[in-house]
Amino acid sequence: MDILAVFVIGINVIVSLSWFLQAYKIHKNRSSKDISIPFVSIVCVGLIFFALYAWREKDFVMFIPFVVCLAGVGAVLAVSIIYRKKVKK
């Protein structure tokens, strides 16, 4: 693996970690009212397919960041569902 591939993996993993910051904020505030669960779900499904494709192609430069991002999006989705407040009518 060349230096550019290592750099791309590193930068993409750092960018992907932003989802964990969002999950932490939701957990800290115990509220996910500003999070669109359908949007996060679609992103999650898309990342699953991107990760599967990268795995099939043995492209670990893309697979590793997709898996990290998928874990972060999964964390946001999980805490969003846990802290979703029901709207009273």
Phi-psi region of 59 (alpha: psi -120 to 50; beta: other; left: phi over 0): beta
- Cα 78 to the chain's mean position, in Å? 11
Note the pLDDT tens digit of each residue in 34-62.
Answer: 899 999 999 999 999 999 999 999 999 89
Of 84, 16, 88, 72, nearest to 40 by C-alpha is 72
Which residues make Cβ contacts (< 8 Å) with residue 55, sequence separation at least 6? 63
SS3 assignment, position 63: helix
Note the pLDDT tens digit of each residue in 3-17.
Answer: 998 998 899 989 999
Structure confidence at residue 89 as a pLDDT band (50, 70, 90): low
Q: What is the pLDDT of residue 1?
A: 75
Which of residues 32 and 87 earns the better pLDDT score? Answer: 32
Which domains are assigned to the chain?
A: 3-82 (1.20.1280.290)
pTM: 0.84
Structure confidence at residue 85 as a pLDDT band (50, 70, 90): confident
